[in-house]
Structure 1
Amino acid sequence: MTDKTLDLDFPAWPQFGQDERDGLIRALEQGQWWRVAGREVDDFEREFAEFHGAPYALAVTTGTHALELALQVLGVEPGAEVIVPAFTFISSSQAAQRLGAVAVPVDVDAGTYCIDPAAVEAAITARTAAIMPVHMAGQLCDMDALGKLSTASGVPLLQDAAHAHGARWRGQGVAALGSPAAFSFQNGKLMTAGEGGAVTFPDADQYEMAFLRHSCGRPRTDRTYRHQTSGSNFRMNEFSASVLRAQLARLDSQIDTREQRWPLLAGLLAGIPGVVPQATDDRCTRNPHYMAMFRLPGVTEQRRNQVVDALIARGLPAFAAFRAIYRTNAFWETGAPDESVDAIAGRCPNSEALSTDCVWLHHRTLLGSEQQMHAIAEVVSDVLATS
């Protein structure tokens, strides 16, 4: 039940209006509902690429497919290794594992929750085919250190930017940093059509190969079924693209609001004994804040889950943070490294702790008023003191 003394009536998500309605009618009335014959996907890709500073963008069916497709374009083959953060949503590792590659989890920074470049460097072997930094909750990874490491090792980066629509590093768009970036448009994401994804590419060759693979290996103008590569049908439909064009137009102003609210909320949370908000890196000059994350260092997983339940009961859209990927059954089904859970956990102490003590709030809370940021902090403080 919502606390009756506090305003916890946050904006709904997803948000939509006349622009989305107009887009759906426009897609309907053009009479062609798939990307090869329609215009909406093409227009969305051009607008999305421009917004993120990329020469090319390819719209696909899901964010997971975006990662899988990009890994294929980078040449990841069965038996190769892909370095991933241990603290992330399982799609990061599964995209590699579904290609027959081995996902190698490494630890993250205890403050930003982003992949630790030193841990990445220690994990590189002769079999490493890609490094996948995940921009956790919109906080960009250390792209300076990772870029240098990629150049020195010759191992390409694939940015998992599922949380990072509109993010900037030293003033540059996340897709302008010289490596492919994969985005998700799942229902909870910062812009959404219920499902969907996109990959941005820095050069034409990568984009053209991705286009072939996302369309069953078939060139755009093929009329005689001359499939040039293996692939699958990862094509986005015209209706989803029409909605995403409207969502993209909303994104910048929503980020402005979240950028204003997070420093206030983070400061209030930091003033509560036992609460540590996610840290920021000042080189990330625009953080879209996909989640409002904080830690309760020292608590047990059971206690953290009790706190989440209590926050929900008080009207906050709260969630337990991701479980370390190596502590899920899914991770071990295929493409797991030849080491034990305990061995991986031993080199991932920060991921272990985050799996136990981290909480996140839905980004729609950060679209609320300044008064509501105070209300959030009051509820968190009260829950920790009384539950």
Structure 2
Amino acid sequence: MDGIPSQPLEFPEWPQFDDTERAGLVRALEQGQWWRMGGGEVDAFEREFAEYHGADHALAVTNGTHALELSLEVLGVGPGTEVIVPAFTFISSSQAVQRLGAVAIPVDVDLETYCIDVAAVAEAITPRTRAIMPVHMAGQFADMDALVKLSADADVPVIQDAAHAHGARWQGQRVGELGSIAAFSFQNGKLMTAGEGGAVTFPTTEQYESGFLRHSCGRPRGDRGYFHRTSGSNFRLNEFSASILRAQLARLDGQIMTRQQRWPVLARLLNEIPGVLPQATDSRADRNPRYMAMFRVPGLSEQSRNELVDRLIEGGLPAFAVFRAIYRCSGFWEVGTPDMSVDQIAARCPNTEAIYQDGIWLHHRTLLGTEEQMHLVTQIIADALAAL
């Protein structure tokens, strides 16, 4: 087909690793204690991750979904409460709410940045609202200035879903410096990974201590009498994963620098393709780690978008359809849903309706390629779109 280069595009593989990870695994193995209560890797990773993100405290957990669930639980989310989430996001954002017995309230997102619409959040706040959960989509910060003000005015805390935002900055401030809890993911495709894993950063010692208890079955440090002080679950990260994450964190800055250099080139070239709109960048988000290279083809049907993704994959690109609107997933409706129909929510979320049908993303390893490859990527997209 048109658009397939004469030589296959060879982007850097993901995950990336070297002898640093190998040494870490051996270090964890030979310390003789493989869980966090006896070893030192998890403790060291938490200190390093907190410092890197400007947070007072970090708590490593089993995965990003558990990071969200734990964050919500620390803020008292449970039966009888509501949490406002973006309608366009990976479904863990809503499932973490629902698994605690609370109701997830989807609201629309901005048509250009794909992040939560603050005006829609304001309209959705009720006396039952216990938290607002913006997602920093693909590394692009949600409007934290407006969200912080709304949070203060409404007396409703923010939880940052920062699963895509390792190393991101908003007007010079790191994720942990914005005064709210933030949840991160280390799933296999994320910007740093141990296959699975997650972390929560806390702005206060009180929240951190509550999180620590709840991530360890409510059991205090050093407990020998099984005094389970709170409810909770076992969300403890193991020592082997932590040793890998320490190595991943050490090379994150260099990878972010490369992606920040490549995205402006790719975005400019995508803008030159008729009908293609790359995800917009808010200038206040002065460091975007670029978890995904996202773009839309407005007016494309969902079926045509899926055909386009297939053509891009055939052309050698690691391409994917974007997330479905969460309210258009049957799993969303199993428990903890608002008293509205799919159509009623969709009518309130026109931007989400558009994005989930005509949006595409490329894996961030694309942006670890060369500048020349950005031109080849664009040519493949242009040719595939023309072939439709």
Whether TM-score is above 0.5 comes out as yes
* Separation (CA, whole Å) in 2 of partners of 1:355 and 1:369: 29
TM-score, structure 1 as length reference: 0.99
One-letter amino acid matched to 2:300? V
Identify the residue that residue 348 of structure 2 maps to in structure 1. Answer: 347
1:216-239 deviation digits (Å, cap 9, x = unpaired)? 000001110011001100000000
Deviations 1:123-142 (A, max 9, x none): 00000000000000000000
**2:377 corresponding residue in structure 1:** 376
**Cα distance in 1 between the residues matched to 2:7 and 2:319:** 16
| Matched residue, 2:99 | 98
Please report how far the alpha carbon of residue 5 of structure 1 lies from its aligned counterpart in structure 2 after TM superposition: 2.3
Match of 2:26 in 1: 25
Cα deviation per residue 1:75-129 (whole Å; 9 max; x = unaligned)? 1121200000000000000000000000000000000000000000000000000
**1:310-329 counterparts in 2 under 5 A?**
310-329=311-330
Number of the residue aligned with 1:265: 266
Q: CA deviation at 1:7?
A: 5.4
Partner of 1:130: 131
Q: Deviations over 1:3-49 (max 9, x none)?
A: 34255110000000000000000000000000001000000000000
Percent identity between matched residues is 72
CA–CA distance in 1 between the matches of 2:5 and 2:270?
Answer: 21
> Could you tell me whether the CA contact under 8 Å between 1:6 and 1:375 is conserved in 2?
no
1:285 aligned counterpart, secondary structure? coil
Root-mean-square deviation (CA), in Å?
0.9
1:222-278 per-residue CA deviation (whole Å, 9 max, x = no partner) reads: 110011001100000000000000000010000000000000000000100010000
| 1:331 aligns to 2:332 (yes or no) | yes
Q: Which amino acid aligns with 1:289?
A: R
Contact in 2 for aligned 1:158/1:182 (Cα 8 Å): yes
Partner of 1:67: 68
Match of residue 52 from structure 1: 53
| In 1, Cα distance between equivalents of 2:281 and 2:149 | 21
Does residue 141 of structure 1 match 2:142?
A: yes
> TM-score, with normalisation over the residues of structure 2?
0.99
Quote the Cα distance in structure 2 between the aligned partners of 1:230 and 1:383: 53
CA gap 1:174/1:103 in 2 versus in 1, 3 angstroms = same
The aligned residue for residue 171 of structure 1 is 172
**Does 1:309 find its partner at 2:306?**
no
Match of 2:188 in 1: 187
Instruction: Write out the 4+ residue segments of structure 1 that deviate beyond 6 Å after TM superposition.
Output: none
- 1:164–1:288 contact (8 Å) kept in structure 2: yes
Name stretches of at least 5 consecutive residues in structure 2 with no aligned partner: none
Contact conserved, 1:7 with 1:372, CA < 8 A, in 2? no
**Counterpart AA for 1:350:** N
Query: Aligned ranges for residues 128-277 of structure 1 at < 5 Å?
Result: 128-277=129-278
Letter in 1 for 2:293: A
Q: Which residue of 1 aligns with 2:300?
A: 299
